[in-house]
Amino acid sequence: MPRLLLALAMAVAALAQPPAGLAVRIGQLPVATPQREIVARALSVRDYARVAAVLAEVAAADPPHAREIRAVLGAVEFLRGRMDLAVAAFRDSDSDDTPLGAEDRFTLAMALVRLRRNPEARIQLDRLRREHTSEPLYLYWLARIDYDQRRYEEALAKYRSVIQQNPNFSRAYDGLGLTLDMLGRLTEAREVLTTAVALNRNAAQPSAWPPENLGYLLLRLGELQKAEEALREALRYDPRLAICHYHLARVLEKEHLEPAAIQAYRAASSLDSSFAEPCYALGLLYRRLHRPREASAAMAEFRRRKSTP
């Protein structure tokens, strides 16, 4: 699931270096007071472009502690969504004499994941894992990269090691369940994903992905009522998750709840303008319901989305 991998990379690294933490770091930089105040005000309203511009200007002058300024700039560029600039800033800051701190190196790894430069991300995560053996997050991300590269047996071993190290790591159970699913071990996948959903439910900010993944598996296993329950739980956590509306629509259609299925297909289609499958499924449903005009419109939209680069 590449989209899941990228979204999770953004979320996890943003949690590692939230704006409040960056504000503290910026306050400690050897930057002239006017510039520090400009940066602090911009950061308070999440104007990351302004923060990055000021920090880049200061770093270009190569003052004392320039490496720390470039490291902070890398974190800001990540929050801004400019992964290429984040990587460049972190690379400029990293050296044998003054290596990046763990948070910065992890954010660099997540930026590389976002750029789909998995081999480079793996190098950074391997280093973090060697230097911080008690932190399971780095091994977890190595497992996610294995999964993304279809190295399922390697991912399986890593996820199990993570869970052994931290039995309450819900995302590791979720990843393990997805991996077992890809290996065709559906009964095991169902059990593991059920555990992931239970752990996720108790989290401070539950993610929609564990119940979405369980719901999709239950849909394929024909357990429609339980699939619907899981997918509705996912949508309580994230009502804008288009793939979840689509899977819920498929469940509702199989349950012969056509009006509700149509509504869910439309929601999936409207929430993600590049998502073509809901349009196709909706067109087929309209045909079955003898609504040719609506079926034709849905199929035309499907073809348009498929032809759009």
Judge whether 287 and 258 are in contact, CB under 8 Å. no
The pLDDT assigned to 31 comes to 75
For the chain, give every domain's residue range. 1-115
More confident residue, 14 or 287: 287
The pLDDT assigned to 41 comes to 86
Q: Tens digits of per-residue pLDDT, 108-122?
A: 999 999 999 999 999
More confident residue, 223 or 60: 223
CA distance 170 to 71: 30
**How many CB atoms sit inside 10 A of residue 113's CB?**
27
36 falls in which pLDDT band (50, 70, 90)? Answer: confident
Q: Tens digits of per-residue pLDDT, 18-33?
A: 666 777 887 777 777 7
46 falls in which pLDDT band (50, 70, 90)? Answer: confident
The pLDDT assigned to 34 comes to 82
Query: Is the pLDDT score of 11 beyond 70?
Result: no
Mean pLDDT of 255-263: 98
Mean pLDDT of 196-213: 96
| Cα-only R_g, the chain | 23
Q: Tens digits of per-residue pLDDT, 126-148?
A: 999 999 999 999 999 999 999 99
More confident residue, 278 or 58: 278
CA-wise closest residue to 110 among 121, 96, 95, 126: 121
The tokens for 105 are 């190196």
The pLDDT assigned to 1 comes to 41
The pLDDT assigned to 288 comes to 97
Judge whether 234 and 244 are in contact, CB under 8 Å. yes
The pLDDT assigned to 65 comes to 79
CA-wise closest residue to 93 among 123, 137, 62: 62
Query: Is the pLDDT score of 208 beyond 80?
Result: yes
Average pLDDT score, the chain? 92
Q: Tens digits of per-residue pLDDT, 168-186?
A: 999 999 999 999 999 999 9
Mean pLDDT of 243-265: 98
The pLDDT assigned to 281 comes to 98
> How many residues can be counted in the chain?
309
